[in-house]
Amino acid sequence: MWRDYFGPRTNLYGVDIQDACKACEKEGTRVFIGDQADPMFWEGVKEQVPKFDIVIDDGGHTPEQQRVSLDQLLPHMRPGGVYCCEDIHGFPNEFASYVHKLSHRLNDSKTIKENKDDNNRSLAGASNPFQARVNSIHLYPFMAFIELNDDRVTEFVAPKRGSIWDYEQR
């Protein structure tokens, strides 16, 4: 199915805990057998696989499995990549809460400085490492998407528009 969607030159990598899934391997498709909740398993995978463009986590459905996979694979993705985790269900869901907490890092503004004499850079600040890499986070019913920046973002700039600018940093 994925080869039909992404095209014949796509390299597909699968992960499962069942040895029988190795039967799905063929040219352009490789299956790794291991526990997705084990960071050491992911270290071995990352040594053998180039950076990922797209990750679709449809593996184990426990928050710990999903969190470990995200933590291990997000840094191993190419710029412009998309990380998707499905089957986020249950209330409260610890993985959905974890992703929501990650989104707070997109709003970090500790380094923003006011430049009163420069209307084009009225507010400017360096990005933190998370902002430099992550473009957006989306939570939908039972799914989470994390989109990476095409290029590293080094700073955020807010130009002054209009005649009044009241901004109070809290």
**CA separation (Å) from 162 to 113, 119, 120, 124, 142?**
19, 10, 12, 17, 42
State how far Cα 70 lies from the chain centre.
7
The alpha carbon torsion through 69, 136, 154, 39 (nearest 10 deg) reads 0
Average pLDDT, the chain: 90
HEC secondary structure over the chain: CHHHHHCCCCCEEEEECCHHHHHHCECCEEEEECCCCCHHHHHHHHHHCCCEEEEEECCCCCHHHHHHHHHHHHHHEEEEEEEEEECCCCCCCHHHHHHHHHHHHHHCCCCCEECCCCHHHCEEEECCHHHHHEEEEEEECCEEEEEECCCCCCEEEECCCCCCCCCCCC
154: closest CA among 127, 125, 114?
127
Amino acid letter at 64?
Answer: E
- The architecture of the domain spanning 50-158 is 3-Layer(aba) Sandwich (3.40)
Query: Is the preceding peptide bond at 92 cis, omega within 30 degrees of 0?
Result: yes
> Which residues on neighbouring strands pair with residue 77, listed in sequence order?
52
pTM of the model: 0.86
The alpha carbon torsion through 99, 102, 107, 110 (nearest 10 deg) reads 160
Residues with a known catalytic role:
61
Instruction: Give domain limits for the chain.
Output: 50-158
pLDDT at res. 60: 87
Question: Tens of pLDDT along 40-99?
Answer: 999 999 999 999 999 999 988 899 999 999 999 999 999 999 999 999 988 899 999 999
Q: What is the mean pLDDT of residues 141-165?
A: 85
Q: What is the mean pLDDT of residues 148-162?
A: 84
**pLDDT-derived band of residue 169, with 50, 70 and 90 as boundaries?**
very low
